[in-house]
Amino acid sequence: MLTDLLLAILHHLLVFLLAGVLAGELVLVRTGLSGRNLKVLGHIDRMYGLTALAIIVVGVCRVVLGLKGWEYYVASGAFWAKMAAFAAVGILSVKPTIRILKWARAGEGYTVPDAEIAAARRFLRLEVAVFALIPIFAAMMARGVG
């Protein structure tokens, strides 16, 4: 019971952290991005990757060690929909991450071209849209819907 509670608390905190980090990226990736913000964005994107990794570890622990048992989740369509949405967010984050690494390497004197900002923002907005599906599927799977 305590393990389940602690994992649930950790899961929620990490999920909110990831949402915050994603929001931070959307705020920073704007026309005229340059200087110190390039470095900050690089740090934020690393944090994004580490948080996503921690969510996977804690999520798998919840499946295996949670009160319902792993069989419950494996049989849930909503669980697999949630995993697919999470994977889609991960795939959508690859392109912005590659761009952010390139920008950060260019140094503080560099200003990111508008076209690259627009392209990265398209991916980030898509990430936000798919991310929003995850708590919906989570609530469904927790209640045995779908």
Binding of residue 47 to ligand HEM (CB under 6 A): no
Dist. CA 73–CA 64, nearest whole Å: 9
Helix-then-strand count for the chain, H and E:
5, 0
Residue with smaller CB distance to ligand HEM, 65 or 106:
65
Please say whether the beta carbons of 75 and 27 come within 8 A. no
Binding of residue 60 to ligand HEM (CB under 6 A): yes
Residue with smaller CB distance to ligand HEM, 60 or 106:
60
Contact characters 114-143, ligand HEM, x per CB under 6 A: --------------------xx--xx-xx-
3-state DSSP assignment of residue 111: strand
Residue of 79, 97, 93, 83 lying closest to 144 (CA atoms): 79
3-state DSSP assignment of residue 143: coil
Residue with smaller CB distance to ligand HEM, 37 or 97:
97
Binding of residue 33 to ligand HEM (CB under 6 A): no
Binding residues for ligand HEM, rule: CB under 6 A, are 11, 15, 18, 55-56, 59-60, 62-63, 66, 68, 73, 86, 134-135, 138-139, 141-142
